[in-house]
Homo-oligomer: A and B are copies of this chain.
Amino acid sequence: MFFPETSGIYTLHTKGAIIVSIQETENAFFEHMKKLSSFEQAMGLLHWDARTHAPKKGSKARSEALGYLATEHFKLKTSSETKAYTDALLADHQQETLSPVTVAAAKTLQKEYERAVNIPEDEFKEYSVLTAESESIWEEAKDNNDFEMFQPYLEKIVSFNRRFADYWGYENHPYNALLEDYEPGMTVDKLDHLFGQLREGLVPLVESVTSSSNQPDTSFLFHSFPKEKQRAFSLDILQQMTYDFEAGRLDETVHPFALGLNPNDVRVTTRYDENDFRTAIFGTIHEGGHALYEQNISSHLHGTVLSDGASMGIHESQSLFYENFVGRSLPFWEKNYDLLKSYAKGQFDDVSLETFYHAINEAKPSLIRIEADELTYSLHIILRYELEKSLITGDLAVKDLPYAWKEKVEAYLGITPPDNSQGVLQDVHWPSGAFGYFPSYALGYIYAAQLKQAMLRDVPAFDKLCQNGDLAPIRTWLRDNVHQYGRMKNPEDILKDATGESINPTYLLTYLQTKYTNLYKA
């Protein structure tokens, strides 16, 4: 492991009349972070339980408990102790005497503290009530295809987010202030450039795939595949991925997720559709990628605020790496197609590996983001990014959003949403106030492709390893270059140190062009 232990050289500083050594402050700071992580573990478990095992009648009392713990956690994070510890540890003359972990943790917590206390308490409370209400109104609006019902809520949420950006401060663009929560260091300038390049490469590629005469046969995908057999296969694949079952487990849920209670307890959930095995298998591999990240965070960071993913985008890069570059690759299925057949009830018996491979990589424009394939997915993200940026600047009014949405779907995907439920109302992100979140998903694709390219330099036998089901060297490379650092490094440094360059979308574009031109060539 790369982290130097704490240096052992300590200076003294006075705190009122009491002389406290910096070592005492450092120890107290780590205790303070353990308290925060204790609340997070309890809240995490209440969430996991609610989504996997909890009996339904208990939900009201459980929500109250969760709400109370969240309030206490927030109070502790924004307490005077947080300020005192981080100020003391980050004083100019101190930092070189402290371990890098302490300094990075103090900086991270100080930033979270400042962002939280910069929002006036009244506004924060009002916003919490608004988003809770907005989520429930949105569900109804979505069910009834009624955008007007949701519109006033979204208008308020947008104006809150504009004010938050002002409170937090930003350079050049208010949206930059919002991005900081999800992808520290990312800016509108960079995103415009990245996403512009991606969009220009993807739109013609999607058109050519759509108009290709070589469309895959997918009918055999939808046969009955019993849940327990899907689970058994999912477990085999997680094992192959080197997921540590002594530090995790696989459960069933409605909306799959991975959740790290602590790095030694990182749980994966998946959903089983008995008429479409892809939901569970690719869901498990995707969430397994997230879980491997958290299981492999350096033990030096456990219990600190750094024991988490570096950003939403980097986290997503790990899930997408496994889902697409491993799980949707031909070498992976050269290894695992027979295993899949052994669990299935004969549905693949007359299907060649090549036909199967094309079917599971079918790409076609579709309306719903979470059902999109790897080729078209980023276009769903780019259009949301462009729209939410315009909402924040005020260039686009909320009332005009449905029309703007429709225009962009037609331009980028060549299809038209028949209604708002399958359009602008489809995602929970805006009703819940998560402006700045969407770009992470596409960044994850870009990062994943770039990491794959860099990995090939050190692990040239990548395909061979997948063919052999020997995924340990792949995980080791990701652990050494990404996982272990947790939040010690920012996303940009992780990428630069691992790949030798800044974010570059050409690797993703080249990968997609090669893969899909090949798959769909007539």
Contacts and interface: CB of A to CB of B under 8 A. Distances in A.
B41 A247 contact: no
Contact of A58 (B57, B58, B64, B261): B261
A57 B302 contact: no
Given A45-B46, A45-B49, A68-B38, A55 B245 contact: yes
Interface in A7-57: 34-35, 37-38, 41-43, 45-46, 49, 53-57
A265 B54 contact: yes
Interface in A61-82: 61-62, 64-65, 68-69, 72
Residue among A34, A57, A64, A263 with max Cβ neighbours from chain B (10 Å): A57
Contacts of A37: 61, 65
B49 A65 contact: no
Contacts of A255: none
Given A57-B246, A57-B247, A261 B45 contact: no
A60 B38 CA distance: 12
Contact of A264 (B35, B58, B264): B58
Given A55-B247, A55-B267, A61-B265, 6 more contacts: A38-B65, A42-B65, A55-B245, A58-B265, A62-B262, A64-B303
Contacts of A331: none
A245 B37 CA distance: 32
A244 interface: yes
A53 B267 CA distance: 11
A249 interface: yes
In the complex, the count of this chain's copies comes to 2
A248 interface: yes
7 contacts: A38-B65, A41-B65, A55-B264, A55-B267, A56-B246, A57-B244, A61-B264
Contacts of A53: 53, 249
The 9 closest A-B pairs by CB, nearest first: A58-B265, A61-B262, A38-B65, A38-B68, A57-B264, A42-B42, A57-B247, A41-B65, A58-B264
A303 B61 contact: yes
A150 to B, nearest CB: 31
Interface string A169-199: 0000000000000000000000000000000
A49 B124 CA distance: 33
B265 A55 contact: yes
Contacts of A57: 244, 246-247, 264-265
A60 B34 CA distance: 12
A28 to B, nearest CB: 14
Given A264-B60, A265-B57, A68 B247 contact: no
